[in-house]
Chain A
Amino acid sequence: MTATIAEPVDVDVAPPLVRPGSRWIPLVRRPLFLIAAFYVVFVLASAFWPKLFTSYGPIDTDPGSVALAPSLDHLFGTDIYGRDLWTRVLYGSPLTIKATLIALGIAVVAGLALGIVSGFFGSITDSILMRFVDVLLAIPGLLLALSIVTALGYGTIPVAVAVGVGIVPGFARTTRAEVLRVKTLPYVEAARAGGASWTRVLLRHILPNSWGPVAVLAVLDAGVAIIAIASLSFLGFGAAPPAAEWGTLIADGRNYLVTSWWLSLLPGLFVALLVLSLNHISKTLQELTR
């Protein structure tokens, strides 16, 4: 489906330890970042309170106003059942966001666990776990996801699980690299030498210091997950109708590309903008932490 380069694996670049308040100030001076952040917030808000942004119902069919082009009444036009497409996109948000969060949750938890254990214990454990990650990487992601979805059945949660498993390797490797880096920092060595237990070192030093790059990767992978979820929905594995994830909406519209282009293209742009915004946010954060 897609691949993203998780850039935060900066084994040799140590982030300067900045005072908490000051690092956020430069963000305000970046208009693109603000727009991106605003868009993400808007999508989140519309997912929770769609009624604020539309007066139609997501499944109200109206055979009298079928396949209308976008207008002020219907921002994204209407679909072949006469449903307002803008409304359907907004009501599709919670499904997609839920799936994305589940996928990220799986990836972060599994990835952190793998990465920490691997980086922390090193040697044989490290080798075995990293080979396992290699295996996950070697199976074409979409095929792995398809198999998982076929095993679990159709729907939002199976799709989320499949996507989550697919992005575990990135998190595992990033975390491991961070752990390896932090482990050798002078003050960690000092703490160890001072008699602190490994658990304490892990909780007090390694986890907090690894968190930054992982969070940046999570934002970036949210975009990847959204595209992956959309692709699986596109292939027909998504939630049962009449609910519709974004990918399903795009897929449903593809039979009307020639006659009613907005059915596919507008939801597609909506998604692409979100992914782009997430990419931008992630990139900006990463630049700031450098």
Chain B
Amino acid sequence: MKITAPLAVAAAAVMALTACGSGDDASAGGSGNLKVSFWPDNPSFSCIDPFQVYWIEHRSIIRNFADSLTDQDPETGKIVPWLAQSWEISEDGKTYTFKLRDGVTFSNGKKLDAQAVADNAAGWIATVKATNGAAFGASYVQGLTGAKAVDPLTVQFQLSKPNSSFLQATSTTNLAITDPAEFQLSPADRCAGKGVVGSGLFVLDHYTPKVETVLTKRAGYAWGSELVQNKGEAKLDQVTFNYVAEDSVRTGNLISGATDIAWPRNPFTPQDTALIAKSGDKVEKRALPGVAYTLFANTAPGKPLADPAVRQALIKAIDLKTYASTIFGPDYPVVQGAFNSTTPYFKPESAKLAYDLPGAQKLLDEAGWTVGGNGFRAKAGTELKLEYPITQYSAGAELLQAQLKQAGINLELRTLTTAQQATYTTEGAYDLANTYFTRADPGALQFILNPDVANSKALAQRSASAAGVKQIQTLFAKALETTDEKQTGQAYADLQDYLIDEGVTIPLFERVQNAGVSDKVQGFAFTSESFLRLNDVTKG
């Protein structure tokens, strides 16, 4: 950076003028104070209320101030005791009975007993109603009709039909147990953090949307799950989460010591990873469980992707390996199916996703799409043009575009305003769309593909033919409406085959949660949902 030297001298002189009097301090807080930097807060739905939050960064925060009935082992996917010491599921799969741990209190001193849990269940159901089903937690309480306290430490949940995802749901941040008094407040007030009181090892001190969230240590905490070493009080006094827009600034802050953990949404670039390694800090990574970064086709009649052959050609034309290594670095995992590899019941489909350009070209030729003068294919005078909307979440769209061009497919990237995004999918002008859902359970995909419960009915309905949608619904029902683990496993395996065979999902990359962790921080851990777990974290 030689060119910058003379300018630096000039700027330094300017700085001498302004430096006095401003309290700039380039270092992070003391040893008891951990600083975590996220990417920007949710631009349109600022929320810190466990049940309503879908923003994964905030679910990381919630994990550390609110406990759940159960916990999930990141290694095995097994559900283990936490606030509940044991549980029983009835034969018909409709009644879940939890025996609670004794002596747990919320941070405001109130008891966390069976009645409090039952009131939570009532609160969740009421919230679903109050938000017209918008609250994210709605997808975790499918079929839940209520709960009752059998005795002070026994609580019974009642479902209208079996839901094999429910036990896992009780381990998530969305069903974290909070002081039920919060449900007296409006969903909007709770989103701002009002009345949100958990039993976790930290206390939510305040949440200022888009600015920061601060947690302080909970004195007397003594009920960490069996998955953590330190079951008692946190080893940090305070944790400050802030939001940094620029990726390079977040990484730079980690390296210069201004922050302790840099937590990006999309994985670090290979350049940043190398830089962090060089500075002695560490990049922790774990694939987020749930739906991979995959594209969903618009198979409505008349659209080019209505033809299954074109969808298969698309899958063959994408070089997933080069994609992963170019965008995220040479040792980045290659996506293997509709789900990320850390999802329970995951089945790799790598062979079907292999890069095969001649195969793609052959399929397209056979389907009647012939290469024209400009290198793109056309059929009956219509160019093979696919419209693909991109947002700030998209990574590497231009590489995808270049890869598809090799096969003669014209991928048109559309940048949308927030306003357009709201109605874009519903209007159906897209050919490929992307959405994902983080949850350590394959049932997550239901909320994208099953029109009955999907967040966007339009996307679900267009993702496959009517028969295809039916088949997907059948497989989900088979997997969910049972207590037979074997049946669930088989149904999910069939589903994963079906999704790729039919080109319903067109996977692009494995979503890996990266965290740049300062060399001063010890005891870093991911939860089963690849969220941040601070029980064992110390700062030296």
Instruction: List residues of A whose CB falls within 8 A of some B CB.
Output: 59-61, 63, 66-67, 80-82, 150, 153-154, 236, 240-242, 254-261
Q: Is A63 a contact partner of B271 (Cβ separation < 8 A)?
A: no
Whether A256 touches B325, Cβ cut-off 8 Å, given contacts A241-B398, A241-B401, A242-B398, is: no
- Chain B: interface size category: 20 to 34
Once the chains are docked, how many angstroms separate the CA of A21 from the CA of B248? 54
**Which chain B residues numbered 391 to 421 have a C-beta less than 8 Å away from chain A?**
392, 397-399, 401-402, 412-417, 419-420
Q: Is A150 a contact partner of B417 (Cβ separation < 8 A)?
A: yes
Q: Is B402 a contact partner of A61 (Cβ separation < 8 A)?
A: yes
Q: Is B325 a contact partner of A63 (Cβ separation < 8 A)?
A: yes
Which chain B residues border A154 with CB–CB below 8 Å?
415-417
Shortest CB distance B1–A (Å) = 6
Whether A258 touches B402, Cβ cut-off 8 Å, given contacts A240-B412, A240-B414, is: no
Chain B window 346-385, contacts with chain A (Cβ cutoff 8 Å), 1 for yes, 0 for no = 0000000000000000000000000000000000000000
Q: Is B415 a contact partner of A81 (Cβ separation < 8 A)?
A: no
* A264, closest chain B residue (CB): B248
Which chain B residues border A59 with CB–CB below 8 Å?
398, 401-402
Which chain B residues border A63 with CB–CB below 8 Å?
322, 325-326, 399
Chain A contact residues: over half helix, strand or loop, or mixed?
Answer: loop
Shortest CB distance A211–B (Å) = 39
A–B pairs, 11, beta carbons within 8 Å: A63-B399, A80-B269, A80-B271, A82-B326, A153-B417, A236-B392, A236-B415, A254-B246, A255-B272, A258-B251, A259-B271
Which chain B residues border A240 with CB–CB below 8 Å?
412-415
Which chain A residues border B477 with CB–CB below 8 Å?
none
Choose among B1, B271, B274, B420 the residue that contacts A153 (Cβ–Cβ < 8 A).
Answer: B420
Which chain A residues border B412 with CB–CB below 8 Å?
240
Whether A258 touches B413, Cβ cut-off 8 Å, given contacts A66-B326, A81-B398, A242-B401, is: no
Which chain A residues border B271 with CB–CB below 8 Å?
67, 80, 256, 258-260
Instruction: List residues of B whose CB falls within 8 A of some A CB.
Output: 1, 246-248, 251-252, 255, 269, 271-272, 274-275, 322, 325-327, 390, 392, 397-399, 401-402, 412-417, 419-420
Whether A81 touches B402, Cβ cut-off 8 Å, given contacts A63-B322, A153-B420, is: yes
Whether A61 touches B415, Cβ cut-off 8 Å, given contacts A258-B275, A261-B1, is: no
Which chain A residues border B413 with CB–CB below 8 Å?
240-242
* A244, closest chain B residue (CB): B398
Whether A257 touches B398, Cβ cut-off 8 Å, given contacts A67-B271, A240-B413, A240-B415, is: no
Shortest CB distance B104–A (Å) = 44
Once the chains are docked, how many angstroms separate the CA of A150 from the CA of B417? 7
Whether A259 touches B417, Cβ cut-off 8 Å, given contacts A59-B402, A241-B398, A254-B246, is: no
Given A61-B399, A256-B269, 5 further pairs, Cβ under 8 A: A63-B326, A153-B420, A241-B390, A241-B397, A242-B401
Shortest CB distance A160–B (Å) = 16
Once the chains are docked, how many angstroms separate the CA of A260 from the CA of B255? 16
Once the chains are docked, how many angstroms separate the CA of A254 from the CA of B271? 13
Shortest CB distance B470–A (Å) = 36
Q: Is B269 a contact partner of A255 (Cβ separation < 8 A)?
A: yes
Which chain A residues border B325 with CB–CB below 8 Å?
63
Q: Is A81 a contact partner of B399 (Cβ separation < 8 A)?
A: yes
Which chain B residues border A80 with CB–CB below 8 Å?
269, 271, 326-327
Shortest CB distance B331–A (Å) = 15
Which chain B residues border A257 with CB–CB below 8 Å?
248, 252
* A61, closest chain B residue (CB): B402
